Amino acid sequence: MNLWRALAVLVAVVAVPADAAARSVNAPGGRTAAGGAIVKELQFAGSHLVLTFAPADFQLTEQDIVDWTLRSARATATFFGRFPAARLHITLDAGSGAMLREGITHADPQARIRLVIGRHTTRETLKRDTTMVHEMTHLAFPDLDDTHLWLHEGIASYVEVVASAQALEISPAAAWARLALELPMGLPERGDQGLDSTPSEDRRYWGGALFCLTADIEIRRRTGNRLGLKDALRGILAAGGTLANTWTVERALSVGDRAVGVPVLRELYAMWKDHPVAPNLDGLWSDLGVQQVNGHVQLVDTAPLAPIRRAITDMPARPLLLVAPSLVRESTQRR
């Protein structure tokens, strides 16, 4: 049986009419679920996911949307070791076109995600899309001053790719191909300063992701590939660093460094925050064994940093879905 079909079978979904949902489920901005919307309640890894959308607004089936939500939650939990919120409200609104258009995540203090999905988005598009993982990742890092928005967006941009590969949503080659394509947009241009001052959205997202990749590699260098950025971020989450709590950037990076035992995050931040750091990406891809051949990415296992590359994106030795207690459990409670 397909792994994700098995996942769907394990989860009982409760559909609630919109008029009943409106009494207890609010969409971001204080609007109540309405207009033919239903609520599907999912018990996942000890967390309660409340998914609100109007099925008639989408070409996708209800099961397509539920499966995508659960796959995204599993990828997020694979990376962080657990799902980062005990209760999460997810609202899906319809937009034009056939792509995911925008997303926003809040924790005030209730964790909420709102995504706008094109009405004509297909199941195949959802299978490749990592936007939900990006938004769920925001829940696993503390709120920071707006000066450091690049760190929040950079972590989410990096983790959505890596976590999806670890959870087998995308192949390692596809993950590295995407990083190779996107990360150059994070390099500084003439006149740019450090990431704390960047007005560029591309640098905010992909410059931040490049910072994360650099940190991941350096942590693994210094720890003999035993630990990586994943372990630093898990340490921050374990210390209470969620989006519901506001921290200083210094506190967040110090907690992450303590979790891995090396001061990589603080050292890199001191350089990247106010200087236009531009790593040699061509050299980095060569060292990692990420090679372009006839327009396709091939992974070369004889490259010097190939073991680090594999450790970053390979599936965990014990996939979360296959260990007890199960990440998903059946819910029979009806509202």
Looking at the structure, tell me whether residues 186 and 128 fall in a common domain.
no
Looking at the structure, tell me whether residues 179 and 307 fall in a common domain.
yes
Q: Looking at the 3D structure of the chain, how many domains does it have?
A: 2
Q: Torsion-angle region of residue 31: left (phi > 0), alpha (psi -120 to 50) or beta?
A: beta
Looking at the structure, tell me whether residues 133 and 73 fall in a common domain.
yes
Looking at the structure, tell me whether residues 104 and 179 fall in a common domain.
no
Q: CA-CA distance, 287 to 309, in Å (whole number)?
A: 9
Q: Is residue 42 part of a domain?
A: yes
pTM for this predicted structure = 0.87
Looking at the structure, tell me whether residues 181 and 294 fall in a common domain.
yes
CA 293 to chain centre: 28
pLDDT at 17: 33
Looking at the structure, tell me whether residues 127 and 237 fall in a common domain.
no
Looking at the structure, tell me whether residues 134 and 224 fall in a common domain.
no
What are the pLDDT digits (tens) for 234-250? 999 999 999 999 999 99
Looking at the structure, tell me whether residues 11 and 99 fall in a common domain.
yes
Looking at the structure, tell me whether residues 194 and 307 fall in a common domain.
yes
Residues in the chain with pLDDT values less than 50: 1-33, 322-335
Looking at the structure, tell me whether residues 300 and 220 fall in a common domain.
yes
pLDDT at 43: 86
Please spell the DSSP secondary structure of 85-128, one letter per residue. Answer: -SEEEEEEEEESSSSEEEEEEEESSSEEEEEEEETT--HHHHHH
- Note down the domain range covering 47: 3-140
Q: Is residue 149 part of a domain?
A: no
Q: List CB contacts of 204: < 8 A, sequence separation 6 or more.
A: 149, 150, 153, 154, 195, 198
Among residues 96, 123, 140, the one where a domain terminates is 140
